[in-house]
Structure 1
């Protein structure tokens, strides 16, 4: 029978690593690694290492520790072994394949430039207002979302391409990706009103829209689709305010001349602090799509 006394996190992760190692193939080494996520959020993950492969799945240990509190160690070990053993392994040749075979699978993601300086030192990126366009190589698809690998400077050198070529290829692929603009109607209106004083509610629109990709994962790259922004703006006969909801989507508001931009910025920042996980923050600024220029602008404070 499993010991009912719960371990502290430090003891748990070492015990889990050893137990998973016992149930793993002899050529697989189980390790605990530190992963840097969006906005420099660091997490400890459990993963496999092998001299024959260089890309393996990893499991967020803090989340698994929460499951341990409810289900116990045996459940966590079985879950970890199942995940690590039953996913596709990628060797270096597959990862560092030719540019011709890889370029159709380059996708983009938007992150905040100033919040990710440590990450951006290691990878190619292109500045976009206060954001950074980074690149992922789509490895394969699954129900929970695409499995991707961040494009590094080393990979770009191996492919013998320039940063501009990488960027242009990614934008071409972005034009082929499906995006959607979804009316939030009363649901989003209620959420916005939670952050607005009663006397200010009349200043805001009764309609707001979510702009994201079809999977709704890392869909804030929709901001780069100025063709779709322009089509939507023309249909509404107005420019657009763009509020960064998270890395997964942005919110569009048809603009009014007397819009309280300071209030919009306050909503964005309070939403980040009170609702959205820090790892999923996109920005604390407000943007504007102007039909006359066909471009997205950063609204100054």
Structure 2
């Protein structure tokens, strides 16, 4: 089944299965790294908000051998699991006092998002950019709802990018606190759960590795910017460390331990990007270095 036919059949099935009144539409959505996807939205009754279901990913599942009916049922299940229970008053976003404590920041790649960065306030950070969003809901069951902040929002709120950055720095560390854990502990735990342990799973990393993200795993790479977090980690480990940008949602900290493995670790980052990540989840293509003496990150 070709992609256009796939979209048509999905729409026909939804028109039949979702009760009226409803509005079902497909629109192109610009994602991170310049990726454009086909976003399906379903608004039942008089609801004015809907989860966005990206048909490209469901079509990939279909092309990988999952039956159309199973793919459709998965899409329908995802919609029902994430659909909002009530309307959102759009006026809440016009008054900055309403959303001030919901402003947060995230890291994206600078060069891959140049077109987007023309439209949104941002701060340059090495070869990355800090951009800002409003976290309008945070639910561990149904997921998180966010709105990317554009220049037009700042104009309406009468604030500057510098002011926005300070607010986001203060907020993000509070509402999305960091989570740091030893990757080898996770590997051993996973291996212990297997009835027939797979040696490729149970084999520890040749380097000590610590995963850094936040409690929701949403844009967790931003934890790199949290005040004194890297400084405290380096003081506890008594070493400098490499930073592997494993995705926009997490990074991996690798203590140097006198080893110069920057090239090998950068190769690892690129391999993960190519084999494990969707294109819009890629943060960067190389490792970074944190100096304990200078208390700074370099490329």
Alignment of 1:91-102 (within 5 A): 91-94=89-92, 96-102=93-99
1:255–1:188 distance in 2 versus 1, CA, 3 Å: farther
Unpaired runs of at least 5, structure 1: 1-6, 195-200
Q: Name 1:198's counterpart in structure 2.
A: none
Alignment of 1:159-178 (within 5 A): 159-176=157-174, 177-178=176-177
Q: Name 1:251's counterpart in structure 2.
A: 252
How far 1:76 sits from its partner (Å)? 6.8
How far 1:114 sits from its partner (Å)? 0.7
Q: Name 2:243's counterpart in structure 1.
A: 242
**Greater CA deviation, 80-89 or 213-222?**
80-89
Q: Name 2:34's counterpart in structure 1.
A: 40
How far 1:73 sits from its partner (Å)? 8.5
CA distance in 1, matches of 2:294, 2:76: 56
How far 1:10 sits from its partner (Å)? 0.9
How far 1:84 sits from its partner (Å)? 8.2
1:38–1:81 distance in 2 versus 1, CA, 3 Å: closer
How far 1:217 sits from its partner (Å)? 2.4
1:56 to 36, 50, 58: 50
TM-score between both structures, scaled by the size of structure 1:
0.80
How far 1:182 sits from its partner (Å)? 0.5
1:79–1:271 distance in 2 versus 1, CA, 3 Å: closer
CA distance in 1, matches of 2:82, 2:228: 41
Secondary structure, aligned partner of 1:101: helix
Aligned residues: 277
Secondary structure, aligned partner of 1:212: strand
Q: Name 2:124's counterpart in structure 1.
A: 127
